[in-house]
Copies of this chain bind each other. A is one copy, B any other.
Amino acid sequence: MKLLEERIQKDGVVKPGNVLKVDSFLNHQMDVELFDQMGAEFRRLFADRPINKILTIEASGIGIACMAARHFQVPVVFAKKSQSINLDGESYVTKVESFTHKRVYDVIVSKKYLGPEDHVLIVDDFLANGCAVDGLIDLIQSAGATVEGVGIAVEKGFQHGGQRIRSRGIRLESLAIVESMDPETGEIVFRHS
């Protein structure tokens, strides 16, 4: 998606350790107008799929998921990263390793909001090693629901999450795929199929 690639070129900051900071518009401050256009693009890309629910994971996926959901006219469910006393106990649980926070946490979703009747689009802001998406796929499969696809804002193409998910036969659409980036020069190169 040209608009997103241009924004990453303009406002993204490459840091050592394969870190791409896009927190000025994507995952701390959020450009909701951009999210709206990204949501429309996800709708176009997955128009042939019978999606009735969007699943994301807290926290930074929620904004994009909600803006996308408006275009699909479906509800969003967000998976939670730790047990809350406000959940009823009847939940699907999986474990996810965070690249950003260097730790493993439980990810849960209530059984009430994911079931065999659901055709789910997973939406998230970032895909790197793909552990969060793996966890969400695991939750969907635990519920007997169908994974219709995965929509990602920014994929780090030089890490292996995207390759692994596509090789499982799951339709994955990333609006921008970073092929390489250089913390010395700040250069960011995108992949185009």
Contact partner of A66 (CB less than 8 A), chosen from B35, B85, B100, is: B35
Task: Let me know if A78 is at the binding interface, CB within 8 A.
Answer: yes
Q: How far is the CA of A63 from the CA of B70 in the complex (A)?
A: 11
Interface assignment of A28: CB less than 8 Å from any CB of chain B: yes
Residues 50 to 106 of chain A near chain B (Cβ within 8 Å)? 58-59, 62-63, 65-67, 69-70, 73-78, 80, 84-88, 100-102
Known: A75-B30, A75-B31, A113-B29. A23 touches B86 (CB 8 A): yes
Question: Given A24-B113, A59-B58, A113-B28, does the pair A33, B73 have CB atoms closer than 8 Å?
Answer: yes
CA distance A112 to B24 in the complex (A): 8
Task: Evaluate contact between B70 and A21: CB separation under 8 angstroms.
Answer: no
Number of copies of chain A assembled together: 2
The interface residues of chain A, by DSSP majority, are classed as: mixed
The reply to whether A101 and B75 contact each other, CB–CB distance below 8 Å, is no
Q: How far is the CA of A170 from the CA of B28 in the complex (A)?
A: 25
Interface size on A, residues (CB 8 A): 42
Contacts of A30 in B (CB 8 A): 66, 69, 75-78
User: Does A63 lie within 8 Å of B86, measured CB to CB?
Assistant: no
Q: Given contacts A21-B86, A62-B62, A86-B100, are A29 and B77 in contact (CB under 8 A)?
A: yes
Residues of A within 8 A of B (CB): 19, 21, 23-25, 27-33, 35-36, 58-59, 62-63, 65-67, 69-70, 73-78, 80, 84-88, 100-102, 109-110, 112-113
